[in-house]
């Protein structure tokens, strides 16, 4: 196979050298352990020759071994298991000195155990080399290992330089994108795009502003909840202006090494200045721009040093010509005031949740590449998704597409969209959860109570769906969707919402044998809302228009950690009494509504136990107490729904005949009865004719006889 000249194959020797250290190091360890273990059994002694001879003369030696060539004496003393080693100066002299002593001792020994055991070894002249061989091998391996490591250090010089350059920023530069983001791709943010269009004009034509003496804002802070499109807007600014776009997260500046964050800030702005005009986008700037002086360490904190460098780069002694900084955060309250002053972040653009018109635009944008059924009405869907962000709406349509594919459908219908919306809000269904019949009955009455109270009260949101099928942590749920966006909540709306919260518990009290723990979340939310009405919103006539409790802002923690009680114990008692009064009033209203409609509540629970989920026309019929009338037309409603689902799944359906009126039905029934009577008459005449023919035949037969 021929290799192209641009592709140079990597030598295999490099792979061998890379593996060798992992082989040599364990091998050297094994040899070292072997040498150590070999020498660990023998202990050398620095003794005089005459002391060794005295050991033999005093009968203290139990056994010994003598190498006649090297002169190595290994011996043991009586009562000691240690094997000592001594280098004999002259082997022949030593043998003459101890020979007679050992022979005499062994001759007079009473038993074999008392005898001195000895062994004379005639070692070869090469024994010293054999002893030194492990050490030689270990030295050679060490030299080879050092050579390999030196070669590797030389080849990895470039990588080491990269590793040591931890002060350099790793910003993503997005300039040569094939598909750049533009303002047309950003839906539901018309006001925000208008605010940012000045940035685009400055980046395209800065002379237009400089000739008039205008100073373009150096920084724009995008503030809003997560998922509202802050990053998308920043990309759109760079895409519209067709300039380099540097994106980085605020957490990328902070490291454990002192001074790394400040170094990375300098490097980021140096890169942006080289490619000016350019856009720097810092996502989640609250990670590096928190209020100074809040943490331990004061001004020497690493985060504060990074923030100081960012402040200097944005508006310091040096000018940032052609560099615009766009930052995003959902916590502007914890940012340092020096960061928000004019000259740094001159503008704050609030990217809020989209309104009903914006949601419709976002839905249409995300539905462009998806096959949607005719029954999907984006206007209705936008009204149902109050409070959804752009990310939520994108996730909603994606879940709908996944659900349609799971159901083997060719298009996405409204059923999949509504099911996906419930999955996003409450979680997936948990039909496998086994519950007793008593629990199912209690849940049915509980959810019926919520729905009926919410339907009766004037200021409550319309009920969209009731279900006793578990979703997420909820054993059942009642889905209420507002018809329009609300930016304010009135006192009457909050009081009605409290009654709806308590509707489930009241239904259990009226229709069940005992109350359950199923209303714990309802009670928690209701109590929190009632206390907010009294202490925060000034909606209590007893306590007046006053706020009780001052929040203690813990900026370092990033949240309001606690409330400071700036009122007396008597006021606290009055607050508790007022909260109890509001809760009792809401409970009384729920009791009045449900107690007067026990039969309807019974019917709703019965239907829920039978069908588990009620929605659409069925839930409206239940709440309006017109269930019998709904059952008469339910067949047509279900047939139309099945036809629509079959069409979405690509299954051919038979065309149904149009429904006939009552007059047409009566005329059709009369015609059917008349035709049936005529057929009976004809059949009777035919039977009579057959009987006469049989009688004539019998008479002829008798005459022949």
Contact assessment for residue 456 and residue 624, using Cβ atoms and an 8 Å cutoff: no
Per-residue confidence (pLDDT) for residue 38, from 0 to 100? 52
Per-residue confidence (pLDDT) for residue 525, from 0 to 100? 94
Q: Poorest-confidence range of 54-63, 310-319, 441-450, 477-486?
A: 310-319
Chain mean pLDDT for the chain? 78
Higher model confidence: residue 703 or residue 337?
A: 337
Round the CA-based radius of gyration of the chain to a whole number and report it: 47
Distance CA(642)–CA(640), nearest Å, equals 5
Q: What is the DSSP letter of 206?
A: T
Q: Average pLDDT of 311-333?
A: 79
β-strand 72-77 against 83-87: which pairing, if any? antiparallel
Tokens 């459908």 -> residue? 409
Q: Is 526 helix (H, G, I), strand (E, B) or coil?
A: helix
Higher model confidence: residue 26 or residue 664?
A: 26
Tell me the three-class secondary structure of 92-145, residue by residue: HHHHHHHHHHHHHHHHHCCCHHHCCEEEEECCCCCHHHHHHHHHHHHHHHHHHH
pLDDT at position 407 over 70: yes
Per-residue confidence (pLDDT) for residue 18, from 0 to 100? 59
Distance CA(129)–CA(367), nearest Å, equals 85
Locate 404 and state its tokens: 């349609």
Distance CA(254)–CA(309), nearest Å, equals 12
pLDDT digits (tens, 9 = 90+) for 52-104: 888 888 888 888 888 877 778 888 888 787 888 888 888 888 888 888 888 88
Could you tell me how far CA 682 lies from the centroid of its own chain?
79
Per-residue confidence (pLDDT) for residue 699, from 0 to 100? 44
Higher model confidence: residue 370 or residue 556?
A: 370
Contact assessment for residue 331 and residue 560, using Cβ atoms and an 8 Å cutoff: no
Per-residue confidence (pLDDT) for residue 9, from 0 to 100? 46
Q: Is 411 helix (H, G, I), strand (E, B) or coil?
A: coil
Q: Poorest-confidence range of 110-114, 200-204, 389-393, 635-639?
A: 635-639
Per-residue confidence (pLDDT) for residue 36, from 0 to 100? 55
- Considering the candidates 240, 360, 416, 447, report the single residue annotated as catalytic: 447
Distance CA(216)–CA(554), nearest Å, equals 35
User: Residue 263, preceding bond cis, omega within 30 degrees?
Assistant: no
Contact assessment for residue 64 and residue 74, using Cβ atoms and an 8 Å cutoff: yes
What does the DSSP assignment read for 651-698?
---PPPPPPP-HHHHHHHHHHHHHHHHHHHHHHHHHHHHHHHHHHHHH
What is the pLDDT confidence band of residue 589, given thresholds at 50, 70 and 90? very high
Per-residue confidence (pLDDT) for residue 175, from 0 to 100? 52
Q: Poorest-confidence range of 130-144, 189-203, 234-248?
A: 130-144
User: Which of 418, 368, 358, 343 lies closest to 388, judged by CA?
Assistant: 358
Contact assessment for residue 515 and residue 508, using Cβ atoms and an 8 Å cutoff: yes
What is the pLDDT confidence band of residue 558, given thresholds at 50, 70 and 90? very low
User: Which of 273, 250, 214 lies closest to 326, judged by CA?
Assistant: 250
What is the pLDDT confidence band of residue 8, given thresholds at 50, 70 and 90? very low
Strand order in the sheet with 477-480: 477-480, 463-467, 613-615
Q: Average pLDDT of 124-134?
A: 58
Per-residue confidence (pLDDT) for residue 31, from 0 to 100? 66
Strand partners, 221: 327, 348
Higher model confidence: residue 152 or residue 18?
A: 152
Contact assessment for residue 159 and residue 153, using Cβ atoms and an 8 Å cutoff: no
pLDDT digits (tens, 9 = 90+) for 662-693: 555 556 656 666 666 666 666 656 555 554 54
The C-alpha angle with vertex 195 and arms to 189 and 196, in degrees rounded to 5, equals: 90
Locate 141 and state its tokens: 């391996």
Distance CA(359)–CA(392), nearest Å, equals 10
Locate 101 and state its tokens: 């002593």
Q: Poorest-confidence range of 216-230, 379-393, 402-416, 633-647?
A: 633-647
Tokens 């939310």 -> residue? 525
What is the pLDDT confidence band of residue 659, given thresholds at 50, 70 and 90? very low
User: Which of 356, 378, 358 lies closest to 367, judged by CA?
Assistant: 378
Contact assessment for residue 351 and residue 190, using Cβ atoms and an 8 Å cutoff: no
Per-residue confidence (pLDDT) for residue 127, from 0 to 100? 52
Distance CA(499)–CA(590), nearest Å, equals 6
Tokens 């890169």 -> residue? 271
Q: Which residues have CB under 8 Å from 121's CB, separation 6+?
A: 65, 66, 67, 68, 69
φ, ψ for residue 514, nearest 5 deg: -150, 155
> How many percent of the chain have pLDDT more than 70?
73
Q: Poorest-confidence range of 132-146, 373-387, 489-503, 557-571?
A: 557-571
Locate 651 and state its tokens: 């299954």
Q: Poorest-confidence range of 29-43, 104-118, 188-202, 478-492?
A: 29-43
Tell me the three-class secondary structure of 588-627, residue by residue: HHHHHHHHCCHHHHHHHHHHHHHHCEEECHHHHHHHCCCH
Per-residue confidence (pLDDT) for residue 577, from 0 to 100? 95
Per-residue confidence (pLDDT) for residue 297, from 0 to 100? 46
What is the pLDDT confidence band of residue 6, given thresholds at 50, 70 and 90? very low
Per-residue confidence (pLDDT) for residue 658, from 0 to 100? 46
Per-residue confidence (pLDDT) for residue 692, from 0 to 100? 52
Kindly report each contact of residues 27-35 with a partner whose C-beta sits within 8 Å and lies 24 or more positions away, as own/partner: 27/141, 28/138, 28/141, 28/142, 28/145, 31/134, 31/137, 31/138, 31/141, 32/138, 34/134, 35/134, 35/135, 35/138
Whether this prediction's pTM lies above 0.75 is answered by: no
Q: Average pLDDT of 118-136?
A: 65
**Helix 569-595, helix 437-456: angle, nearest 10:** 100
Contact assessment for residue 221 and residue 329, using Cβ atoms and an 8 Å cutoff: yes
Distance CA(390)–CA(355), nearest Å, equals 11
Per-residue confidence (pLDDT) for residue 42, from 0 to 100? 55
pLDDT digits (tens, 9 = 90+) for 324-374: 888 998 888 888 888 888 888 888 888 888 888 888 999 998 898 899 988
The torsion angle over the Cα atoms of residues 243, 249, 255 and 260, rounded to 10 degrees, is: 20
Q: Poorest-confidence range of 6-15, 97-106, 211-220, 304-313?
A: 6-15
What is the pLDDT confidence band of residue 316, given thresholds at 50, 70 and 90? low
Per-residue confidence (pLDDT) for residue 560, from 0 to 100? 47
Tell me the three-class secondary structure of 141-181, residue by residue: HHHHHHHHHHHHHHHCHHHHHHHHCCCCCCCEECCCCCCCC
- Answer yes or no: 374 catalytic: no
Q: Average pLDDT of 173-197?
A: 73
How distant, in Å, are the alpha carbons of 248, 279, 311, 313, 316 from that of 308?
18, 20, 5, 9, 10
Higher model confidence: residue 159 or residue 519?
A: 519
Contact assessment for residue 361 and residue 394, using Cβ atoms and an 8 Å cutoff: no
pLDDT digits (tens, 9 = 90+) for 453-488: 999 999 999 998 899 988 877 888 898 888 777 788
Higher model confidence: residue 487 or residue 559?
A: 487
Distance CA(290)–CA(338), nearest Å, equals 10
What is the pLDDT confidence band of residue 649, given thresholds at 50, 70 and 90? low
Per-residue confidence (pLDDT) for residue 308, from 0 to 100? 83
């Amino acid at each position: 196979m021929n290799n192209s000249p641009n592709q140079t194959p990597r030598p295999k020797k490099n792979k061998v050298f890379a593996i060798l250290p992992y082989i040599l190091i364990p091998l050297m360890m094994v040899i070292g352990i072997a040498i150590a273990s070999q020498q660990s059994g023998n202990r050398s002694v620095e003794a005089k020759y005459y002391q060794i001879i005295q050991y033999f003369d005093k009968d203290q030696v139990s056994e010994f071994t003598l190498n006649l060539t090297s002169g190595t004496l290994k011996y043991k003393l009586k009562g000691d298991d240690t094997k000592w080693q001594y280098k004999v100066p002259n082997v022949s002299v030593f043998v003459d000195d101890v020979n007679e002593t050992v022979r005499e001792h062994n001759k007079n020994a009473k038993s074999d155990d008392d005898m001195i055991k000895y062994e004379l070894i005639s070692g070869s002249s090469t024994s010293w080399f054999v002893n030194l061989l492990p050490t030689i091998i270990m030295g050679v391996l060490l030299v080879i290992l050092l050579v390999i490591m030196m070669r590797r250090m030389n080849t990895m010089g470039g990588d080491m330089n990269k590793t040591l350059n931890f002060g350099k920023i790793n910003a993503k530069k997005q300039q040569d994108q094939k598909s750049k983001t533009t303002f047309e791709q950003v839906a539901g943010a018309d006001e925000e795009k208008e605010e940012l269009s000045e940035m685009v004009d400055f980046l395209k034509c800065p002379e237009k502003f400089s000739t008039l003496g205008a100073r373009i804002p150096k920084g724009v802070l995008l503030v809003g909840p997560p998922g509202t499109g802050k990053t998308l807007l920043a990309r759109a600014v760079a895409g519209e202006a067709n300039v380099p776009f540097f994106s980085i997260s605020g957490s990328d500046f902070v490291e454990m090494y002192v001074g790394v964050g400040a170094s990375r800030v300098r490097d980021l702005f140096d890169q942006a200045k080289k490619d000016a005009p350019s856009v720097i986008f810092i996502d989640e700037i609250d990670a590096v721009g928190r209020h100074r002086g809040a943490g331990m360490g004061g001004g020497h904190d690493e985060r504060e040093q990074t923030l100081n460098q960012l402040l200097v780069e944005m508006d310091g002694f040096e000018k940032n010509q052609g560099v615009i900084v766009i930052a995003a955060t959902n916590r502007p309250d914890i940012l340092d005031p020096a960061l928000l002053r004019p000259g740094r972040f001159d503008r704050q653009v609030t990217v809020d949740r989209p309104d009903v018109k914006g949601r419709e635009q976002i839905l249409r944008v995300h539905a462009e590449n998806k096959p949607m059924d005719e029954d999907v009405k984006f206007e209705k869907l936008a009204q149902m998704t109050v409070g959804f962000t752009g990310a939520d709406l994108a996730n909603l349509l994606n879940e709908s597409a996944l659900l349609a594919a799971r159901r083997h459908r060719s298009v996405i219908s409204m059923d999949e969209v509504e099911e996906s919306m419930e999955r996003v809000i409450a979680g997936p269904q948990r039909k496998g959860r086994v519950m007793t019949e008593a629990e199912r009955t209690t849940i049915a009455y509980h959810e019926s109570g919520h729905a009926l109270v919410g339907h009766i009260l004037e200021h409550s949101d319309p009920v969209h769906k009731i279900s006793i099928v578990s979703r997420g942590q909820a054993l059942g749920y009642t889905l209420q969707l507002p018809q329009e966006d609300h930016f304010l909540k009135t006192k009457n709306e909050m009081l009605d919402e409290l009654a709806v919260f308590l509707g489930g518990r009241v239904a259990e009290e009226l229709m069940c044998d005992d109350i359950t723990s199923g209303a714990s979340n309802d009670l928690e939310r209701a109590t929190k809302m009632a206390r907010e009405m009294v202490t925060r919103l000034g909606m209590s006539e007893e306590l007046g228009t006053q706020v009780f409790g001052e929040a203690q802002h813990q900026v370092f923690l990033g949240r309001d950690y606690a409330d400071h009680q700036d009122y007396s114990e008597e006021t606290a008692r009055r607050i508790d009494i007022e909260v109890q009064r509001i809760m009792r009033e809401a409970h009384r209203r729920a009791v009045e509504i449900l107690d007067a409609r026990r039969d309807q509540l019974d019917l709703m629970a019965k239907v829920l136990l039978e069908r588990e989920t009620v929605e659409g026309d069925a839930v409206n019929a239940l709440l309006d107490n017109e269930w019998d009338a709904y059952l008469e037309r339910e067949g047509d409603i279900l047939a139309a729904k099945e036809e629509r689902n079959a069409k979405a799944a690509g299954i051919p359906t038979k065309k149904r005949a149009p429904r006939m009126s009552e007059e047409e039905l009566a005329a059709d029934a009369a015609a059917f009865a008349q035709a049936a009577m005529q057929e009976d008459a004809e059949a009777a005449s035919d039977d009579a004719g057959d009987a006469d023919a049989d009688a004539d035949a019998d008479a002829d037969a008798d005459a022949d006889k």
